[in-house]
Amino acid sequence: MSRRHRSESVVLPPKEELRAHARGERHRINSELHLLSAAVGVTIETDDADEPGVGWKPLHHHDAERGRAESQRSGPMRHWKQKAWKRRTLVRRRKAAALQYATQLP
């Protein structure tokens, strides 16, 4: 992947560390949810139970400026990249073929 758009001032940790940290966070949330589901109805009322929140997110989830810059950078919509583009082309070809066939009839 290209690195030309990444800022040199922000040094990201290695990918393995990020993945390990994310896995640990998922494991913490799942284990807290398991303990909470076992306690609801026995020691805690349903309305009093607090859902465990996310305590860590990767850096790019926190940076609002980066998100705004990426959304503005995308530019105008390219019509040939849309799903209907090939269908529209096929419809035009079929119309042209039908017109050509109709003009050839006596």
Domain enclosing residue 33, as ranges: 15-63+79-104
Examine residue 1 and state whether it is found in any structural domain, yes or no: no
Judged by DSSP in three states, 5 sits in: coil
Q: How many domains does the chain have?
A: 1
Instruction: For residue 58, tell me if it sits in a domain.
Output: yes
Give mean pLDDT, residues 12-32: 87
Query: Does any domain span residue 42?
Result: yes
- Termini Cα distance of the chain: 60
pLDDT per position as a tens digit, 79-105: 777 777 767 778 889 999 999 988 887
**pLDDT value, residue 3:** 62
DSSP for 44-77 reads B-GGG--PPPP----HHHH-HHHHHHHHHHT-SP
* 26 within some domain: yes
Among 33, 54, 51, 35, CA closest to 43: 35
Please state the pTM of the whole predicted model.
0.43
In a domain? residue 6: no
Name 32's Cβ contacts closer than 8 Å, sequence gap at least 6. Answer: 52
Q: What gap in Å lies between CA 41 and CA 14, rounded to an integer?
A: 43
Mean pLDDT across 32-58: 82
Backbone angles phi, psi at 42, to 5 degrees: -100, -60
In a domain, 74, yes or no: no
Q: Is residue 57 one of the residues assigned to a domain?
A: yes
